[in-house]
Amino acid sequence: MEIKQAEFIISAAYKTQFPADAKVEIAFVGRSNVGKSSIINTLTNRRKLVKTSGTPGKTRLVNFFMINNEFYFVDLPGYGYAKVSKSQLENWATTIENYLIGRRQLKKVILLVDSRHKPSKDDITMYEWIKHFGYECMVVATKSDKITKNEKFKNEKIIRETLQMDKDEKLYFFSSLNRSGKEEILDNLF
């Protein structure tokens, strides 16, 4: 699949603000510092489509991006960021939940985990939640340029076991720095 067009549509906090059309949506979820903005920018070949920051936790709303005038990428707020108030964390959780529950247009959720670390309790909860509600889940391990080939094999096993992934589920390794994994992810979006 080739992405030829990508544009920001809206940042929304409430369901009433979400696009009302029936176009397919693919959501990106993960910890605040896992690289959601970077993967969307890399997949769309746009360096600044999604704002990136050195400070985790900047995405606070549900951001919709129209892709090829056919479907949406949806960037959700990150979870697990400790340097914000408890009420802010609760607001983010509510925003994510409001989007994910009952969204008919949502066809796939891309769960991003850090390839260097064992998935967190929040990652496990999100994975289980995605499966429980019947969404198709694609697990992508980001920042793969920061690990060796041997670490990649070892960490793949750890990620699979921690999330209790089925044997037939694919785990994708991705790096926004060297763009490895980009084509494989794009080819398997649908």
Give the three-state DSSP class for 145: helix
Is 104 a residue whose pLDDT tops 80?
yes
Residue 11 has pLDDT above 80, yes or no: yes
Distance in angstroms (rounded) separating the CA atoms of residues 98 and 118? 28
Q: DSSP readout, 94-128?
A: HHHHHHHTT-TTEEEEEEEEETTSPPPHHHHHHHH
What does the block give as tokens for 156? 């793949």
More confident residue, 77 or 171: 171
Helices (H) and strands (E) in the chain, counts: 5, 7
Which pLDDT value is given to residue 56?
46
pLDDT band at 124 (very low <50, low <70, confident <90, very high): very high
Q: Which helix (H) or strand (E) holds 183?
A: helix 182-187
| Tens digit of each residue's pLDDT (9 = 90 or more) over 141-188 | 999 999 999 999 999 999 999 999 998 999 999 999 999 999 999 999
**HSE-up of 174 (CA within 13 Å, CB side)?**
28
Structural domains for the chain: 6-187 (3.40.50.300)
User: Which tens digits make up the pLDDT trace of 155-167?
Assistant: 999 999 999 999 8
- What's the pTM value of the predicted model, to 2 decimals? 0.90
